[in-house]
Structure 1
Amino acid sequence: MNDRPSRDHLMSTTTGRPSSDRALVGVIVSLGLLVAVVGSLGAPLITAVAQHYNVSLAAAQWTLTIALLSGAVTTPVLGRLGSGPRRRSVVLVTLGIVVAGSLLTVLPLPFAVLLVGRAAQGAGLGLVSLMMAIARDHLDERRSASTIAFLSVASTAGIGIGYPLAGWLTDLAGIRAAYGLGLVATAAALVAAVAVIPQAPARPANRVDLRGALLLTVGLLALLLVISQVGLWQQHTVLAVLILVVSLLVLAAWTIVEARTDKPLVDIRLLRHPAVAAANLVMLTGGVGMYLLLSLITRYVQTPAVAGYGFGLNTFEAGLVLVPFSLLGFVAGRLMPGLKSRFGARTLLAASTTVVLIAFVLFALARDHLAEPVIAISILGVGVGAFSAAMPSVILAATPAAETASAMSVNQVVRSVGFSIGSALGGFILAAYTTDVFPHETGYTTAAWAGAATTAATLLVIAALPAQRR
């Protein structure tokens, strides 16, 4: 790109100190990994939180839900703020909020304070898009592409690191130790960011569209809340439908407002680009399938054998099942930048989605032995890693450098919605097959084939993606 030398020059002149590309890449990827680890702390600790605070499992589930909701709401706001000249300050302030939230999760305070802390931690989920913008502005084109790809993988596959660590620390020293991991990691990340994150290139300051931010917050909160609460659909179906309709109407109103705003929170014109629109649709449907299979396998292997299936793994052991998911995801992500130059991002998206489809079919047909779900989740890791690494290329190819943070923040929100739908879909199907404590094993088969159908539909959407020049 013609402006790359000027951005490299800006990197060295605007920070006021020499900046090492290697150190910057390390901090960028580490922050993406940290976001995944801290965000995943809620899932393996739900039972332990319920016991420690003497609350119901439904209440303890909010330690995960509230972090995801917080991340979905703050991501587009941070994306817009991060597109301006004060991106470094936005990153540092956000990390400061995450550290403060991490401290609240460790202190022996009431359950409500724990939820506040988890909400503050969830704000860090919006940092991924800012890290992508930093890589695009301050690294050469080749290193920028590989860093963005690996960052996208780290922010997804990194949950395989958080799960077993949280389970092991909980079994060893209680939930405070597990949450303490988050405090230590976020504090270290803040120190590293202060030392390494550069100033943004000189650009006009971005005014945050408060009206758009409010509409998007209300719409996303209602949408993610209703699709993540399976019990609400089971017990209050009419209310759930009403909330869903209201959320969609609010989001439609937000779209109209943004299209008519001079300085919008999200540039709707970019989202209308065929490649960007199709890529976000791919992210939505692909996210549904990926998280559906991930949740199915982790739940299946923890089911005690008394149910007639399952392997009765504890939290730590179930976390270890996710390790190959993460490791193979990282490997696949590292390979994608080199393969993209040969095959193109669209071809790699199709190939990675096909790998996810294979994982679904394997889990649907074979899970009598522990090795079979482990193989399925390993294959899923390859697919998710490759998919996550290829996705940013499709969007950034049609996005100006100055709008990187904003465009990728929308993609991150779409991913959160897809993950939430996938989790809820699995819960719905398994609940329909539950007559006692545990669902009938047929429910897992039905859910797996439903996910396979969603993944196959994703392949059709990918086929509609415009071909990219290489």
Structure 2
Amino acid sequence: MATLAGAGIVASVMGTLLVPLIGELPRLLHTSSANASWVGISTMRDVVPPERMGASVALMSSSLGIGGALGLPVAAAIAENADWHVLFWASAGIAALVGIAVAVFLPHVPPATRGRFDVPGAIGLAAGLVCLLLAVSKGGDWGWGSAPTLGLFAAALVILPAWGWYELRTRDPLVDLRTTARRQVLLTNLASVVVGFSMYAQALAAPQLLQLPEALGYGLGQSMLAAGLWMAPAGLVMMAVSPIGARVSGRRGPRTSLLIGTLIIAAGYALAPALMGTAAGILVFGCVISVGVAFAYGAMPALIMGAVPRSETASANGFNSLMRSIGITVSSAVIGVVLAHMTQNADGHPIPTEAGFQVVFVLGGVVALAAAGVTLAIPRRTTSIPPLTATKAATKAVVETEPTRSAS
């Protein structure tokens, strides 16, 4: 579990690595704001006893908070005091260490099913998503009716259905679409997209607000490191709250935890317009949003694992992670477009306006409420897979009958 949690921390560090640099990326990369915005749970079911599953999922969820809390100030300190490319070299080294730990400490789990890697499926999904997200990100710059934008949307509309047709007919699909079509799995994945979108909107906007000059009237004039430190407590709050979410899931079901989480995220965004004028205010609403994220992220794997057989756990959870990543990526593209087009000139550079940030926070809240609506549609009585305890009991019964059978 320590190794898995460590891997989760490193993964979430990668997700927050560039957040302190978002405001500086256009300058560092000599590009526009719109261009700059583009820049393992399943194993536990096999190696962790069922009575520890809830706590283990909570630990993995909290590792996301730990990584976020570490990634923001550490990345900011490196970027301020060294070449910003060092961020990537340091991350590569840490990831290599985690890879060694996985090889040494994780037990080997024989695959429940065997098959080949779906290369055409991987290429098709990647191509379809790139076409869709690039069109969303660059449509404002190129023009929504321009040939490149319409061409990319058209390509996505062709590639993604063709990919789905292929996945339904290949023997070893990258994504088992029949499993993902089950109501509980489908709605949980849809909730993952919108929760990921809502979560990342705040992570993109808050560092820029903190670092903008005070002379603008709404900027808070913080250094890159100070901005990272102001945002770090939100990650620590997520770590602290995750076990509580696990207990709620155990008593009331993961659907309830997910619903509570989405409503708390919406409440955090409702506070944002009134609190965005001070660094302490940003810390407060960021922590509220993180509480909601902790509840939501802890509930999603439980909903997925409760609806699929063991042989499909890895594929189903992997696809759920992909949906979360798509939500984050769409958030990056959409929020990038909003802030890139609601600007004013300051010293010859386009700067997002106060109204732009307010639109971002309203958008994040609306999307969180949409996630709550999706959660309400998830069946109350979740379809469940026979628990591991039942399997152990059956095995024990077989073993106990062996001496009698041998004697007879």
TM normalised by structure 2 equals 0.85
Q: Unaligned 5+ residue runs, structure 2?
A: 385-408
* Map of 1:406 onto structure 2: 315
Question: 2:64 touches 2:235 (CA, 8 Å); kept in 1?
Answer: no
Amino acid at match of 2:180: L
Residue 441 (str. 1) matches residue 363 (str. 2): no
Report how far residue 350 of structure 1 moved.
0.8
Report the CA distance between 1:177 and its aligned residue: 4.2
Say whether 1:184 aligns with 2:97: no
Report the alpha carbon displacement of residue 348 of structure 1 after superposing the two structures with TM: 0.8
Query: Residue 56 in 1 paired to residue 30 in 2?
Result: yes
Query: CA offsets per residue over residues 214-236 of structure 1, 9 Å max, x none?
Result: 21121122223333x34x42234
CA 1:198–1:226 in 2, change beyond 3 Å: closer, same or farther?
A: farther
Matched residue type, 1:134: T
Tell me how far 1:65 sits from its aligned partner.
Answer: 4.2
Cα deviation digits, residues 25-50 of structure 1 (max 9, x gap):
00001001111113432343467777
Separation in structure 2 between the aligned mates of residue 150 and residue 223 of structure 1, nearest angstrom: 34
In the alignment, residue 49 of structure 2 is paired with which amino acid? D
Corresponding residue of 1:460: 373
Equivalent of 2:268 in 356, 359, 372: 359
Q: Does 1:371 align with 2:280?
A: yes
Match of 1:256 among 165, 174, 180: 165
Q: Displacement of 1:164 after TM fit?
A: 0.8
The residue type equivalent to 1:466 in the other structure is: P
The aligned runs of 1:178-327 (5 Å cut-off) are 178-201=87-110, 203-227=112-136, 229-230=137-138, 232-237=139-144, 238=146, 239-327=148-236
Question: Cα deviations across residues 96-134 of structure 1 (Å, max 9, x unaligned)?
Answer: xxxxxxxxxxxxxxxxxxxxxxxxxxxxxxxxxxx2121
Give yes or no for contact 2:12–2:64 (8 Å, CA) kept in 1: yes
Match of 2:298 in 1: 389
- Match for residue 20 of structure 1? none
- Letter of the structure 2 residue corresponding to residue 382 of structure 1: V
Structure of higher CA gyration radius: 2
Cα deviation, residue 202, structure 1: 5.1
Within 2, Cα distance between the matches of 1:258 and 1:435? Answer: 47
1:112 alignment partner in structure 2: none
Give the secondary structure class of the aligned counterpart of 2:313: helix
The one of 28, 41, 48 equivalent to 2:4 is 28
Letter in 1 for 2:5: V
Structure 1 residue runs without a partner (length 5+): 1-24, 67-130
1:346 Cα deviation from its structure 2 partner: 0.8
What is the count of residue pairs matched by the alignment? 377
Residue of structure 2 in register with 1:82 after alignment: none
Quote how far apart the aligned CAs of 1:190 are: 2.3
Superposed CA offset, 1:256-296 (max 9, x none)? 21112232111111111000000111111122111112212
Partner of 2:161, secondary structure, is: helix
CA distance in 1, matches of 2:75, 2:34: 15
Secondary structure in structure 1 of the residue aligned to 2:343: coil
Residues 273 and 200 (structure 1), Cα distance of their counterparts in 2 relative to 1, 3 Å cut: same
Q: CA deviation at 1:205?
A: 2.3
User: 2:16 matched to 1:40?
Assistant: yes
Q: What is the deviation of 1:176?
A: 4.9
Alpha-carbon distance change, 220 to 272 in structure 1, aligned in 2, over 3 angstroms: same
Inter-partner Cα distance in structure 1 for 2:207 and 2:121: 38
How far residue 157 of structure 1 moved from its aligned partner, in angstroms, is: 6.0
Task: Say whether the 8 Å CA contact 1:288–1:419 is kept in structure 2.
Answer: yes
Q: Counterparts of 2:129 and 2:233 in 1: how far apart (Å)?
A: 33
User: In the alignment, which residue of structure 1 is the partner of 2:388?
Assistant: none
Aligned partners of 2:33 and 2:336 also within 8 Å: no
Are the aligned partners of 2:5 and 2:59 in contact in 1 as well (CA < 8 Å)?
yes
Shift in CA distance, 60/466, structure 1 to aligned 2, threshold 3 Å = closer
Write the mapping of 1:126-165 to structure 2, written as runs, cut at 5 A: 131-155=40-64, 158-165=67-74
Name the CA shift for 1:209/1:184 in 2 (closer, same or farther; >3 Å).
closer
Question: Aligned partners of 1:410, 1:202: CA distance in 2, in Å?
Answer: 18
CA distance in 1, matches of 2:77, 2:57: 31
Task: Say if 1:266 and 1:202 are closer, same or farther in 2 by CA, change over 3 A.
Answer: closer
Q: Secondary structure at the match of 2:127?
A: helix
The alpha-carbon deviation at position 443 of structure 1 amounts to 2.0
Alignment check: 8 A CA contact 2:18 2:75 kept: no
TM-score (norm 1): 0.74
- Does the CA contact (< 8 Å) of 1:133 and 1:401 recur in 2? no
Question: Which secondary structure state, in structure 2, belongs to the residue aligned with residue 330 of structure 1?
Answer: helix
Identity %: 27
User: Post-superposition shift, 1:146?
Assistant: 2.6
The answer to whether the 8 A contact 2:194-2:327 is kept is yes
Please give the alpha-carbon distance, in whole angstroms, between the structure 1 residues aligned to 2:228 and 2:31: 19
State the alpha-carbon separation in 2 of the partners of residues 169 and 34 from structure 1.
Answer: 16
Report if the CA contact (8 A) 1:302-1:312 is conserved.
yes
